[in-house]
A and B are shown apart, each in its own frame.
Chain A
Amino acid sequence: VRTAFFDSLVTLAARDERIMLMTGDLGFGVIETFARSFPTRFINAGVAEQNMTGVATGLALSGKIVFTYSIANFPTLRCLEQIRNGPCYHNTNVKVVSVGGGLIYGSLGMSHHATEDLAVMRALPNLTVVAPGDPAETTAATEALVALDGPAYLRLGRAGEPRVHQGPIEFSLGKALMLCDGSDLTLISTGGMLVTADNAAQQLRRDGISCRLLSMHTVKPLDVDAILAAAADTGLIVTIEEHSVTGGLGSAVAEVMAEHPIAGALLKRIGLPSAFVSRAGSRDYLAAQYGLSADAIVSSIKALRRNELIKE
């Protein structure tokens, strides 16, 4: 998805002179094409994210569309107040981009685990929060964020995620994409968990469990209609996110379900516990440790059904 983002940004920047890219001195091997193609619209701000965000705000207030780029928590939590008081309060065109959402940089340690960013960013007024699930969604989301007049947070995974959507997609911010329909339960995934959720859905289907799969690429504003329809149609919603279960997608879905009670509908949140991951490990290793593999997701859904938490 990182490649899809940069390819898309270069294409869009060729059409729209307002687009600028700032980096906090990261992006070796991926920022070069933009930097070479648009040297006056590329700024390496140095290892100084607070200033990067402030400068981006000043540029945006002067008519630019500025993407600020870094990895993990550096473009978000490090400069959270700058994002809040700057782009959010001034409702201006700064698009914050982070690569490495979740446990992508697992082996690098806790400092590089972006596991609370969705919760924190979701709380900020005016900010659109997007976590695309595959390269196709990433390309479409990048275009949509340029067209959107206002601030946004784009949470990306890493390079090399497979395309999950078969064929073209009809992407629209705030509208979930349905990858397959089903009647027994609905899996709702955000960000890079989409391929895992898709694998889990296929396994469940093979086992005779009919599964709807939604990619909730926009965490804010949330697609309330899709959640309510899933609750009414399937009776069980399982959210899957590479993020703490505190405050992220699962919490957002829970808020909707709590305020729109649909008789009998249940919710299971699958994500990271609100705890620090202090062991080294690859992303896939750590994800599996926390039940975020397709096998583990299938097992926990089957356990739910065995416990008769849902109506057979």
Chain B
Amino acid sequence: MASPAGEPISPALKRDLEALAQRIRLHVVRMTNRAKSSHVGGGLSMAEILAVLYGHVLRVRPDDPCWSTRDRFVLSKGHACAGLYAVLAERGFFPLADLETFYTDGSRLAGHVTHTGVAGVECSTGSLGHGLPIAAGMALAGREQSFRVFCVLSDGECDEGSNWEAALFAGHHKLENLTVIIDYNKIQSLGSVDEVLRLHPLHDKWTSFGWRTAEVDGHDVEALHSALTSVPLAAGQPTCIVAHTVKGKGVSFMEHQLLWHYRSPAGEEYDRAIAELEGKAR
């Protein structure tokens, strides 16, 4: 898969971003275990995407989260919020200890992305197909106020027509400060994307809507870094990065498994998952 040629990545940065991705995975597995909650698979599949964005690409200030010209990040696949909360805590937007409250009675960290009282979250999502239109509006304002907008979509949510309304809009208005990354893990709620509602050829769809599109291995930190440091990929066009990923990535028995869209890791499975991830994190 040919990646756009962006900034070269130093061995140290590559190591740091890979380590951050592994820590995100550990948090996601621990959080969903404690919470007995779903969506561990979709949290694991985007760990490198979040690590590269928050570890290097996004211009954000954890000590000044509302800094006016910060880059905006919208996680449209709001069900995978554990990953976002984890990376925000890792970056110091709020204490890591807060992750232990995820999904519990009275917590600010609800089971879909919630902005109220959570530093670093730009907007709440959870109903699929809402994030990209909001990101497009931010990008329109960002063109005048000099900030960039990044939005992560799931593949399943590309079924929602509102995304294609927004895709038309962003292409038409030449929102070159807008980048979409699709966590293309090929599995949605009740089956594979191919079985449920075929998206192929996904790359061509976005291109035909006026976007400059690239495909990368979504677990290759170097490829993600290269693509995300070269946006916009074309002047006057929004960028779509189709990141090929694996649902449940990093835990052998969760990979490519629909079951882990729902199942919460517990007992012996939890211990195995943590052991595998800690092994890789070393």
Contacts and interface: CB of A to CB of B under 8 A. Distances in A.
B166 A55 contact: yes
Contact of B162 (A54, A62, A90): A54
B136 A54 contact: yes
A180 B125 CA distance: 48
B133 A57 contact: yes
Contacts of A54: 130, 132-134, 136-137, 162, 166
Given A54-B166, A90-B115, A90-B123, A63 B133 contact: no
A82 B162 contact: yes
B38 to A, nearest CB: 20
Q: Which of B123, B134, B135, B161 has the largest count of A CB atoms less than 10 A from its CB?
A: B134
A218 to B, nearest CB: 26
B145 interface: yes
Q: State the main secondary structure of chain B at its contact with A.
A: helix
B130 A85 contact: yes
Chain A interface, >50% SS class:
helix
A50 B140 contact: no
A53 B142 CA distance: 17
Given A54-B162, A62-B142, A90-B124, A82 B130 contact: yes
Given A46-B168, A81-B127, A82-B162, A58 B133 contact: yes
Interface residues of A, number: 25
Contacts of A82: 130, 133, 162
Nearest to A62: B141
B127 A55 contact: no
A64 interface: yes
A62 B123 CA distance: 11
A100 to B, nearest CB: 22
Nearest to A81: B127
B159 interface: no
A51 interface: yes
Interface in A54-94: 54-64, 81-82, 85-86, 89-90
B138 interface: yes
Contacts of B168: 46, 48, 51
Interface of A: 43, 45-46, 48, 50-64, 81-82, 85-86, 89-90
Given A55-B134, A59-B141, A85-B130, 11 more contacts: A46-B165, A51-B169, A54-B130, A54-B136, A58-B134, A59-B138, A62-B142, A81-B127, A85-B124, A86-B130, A89-B124
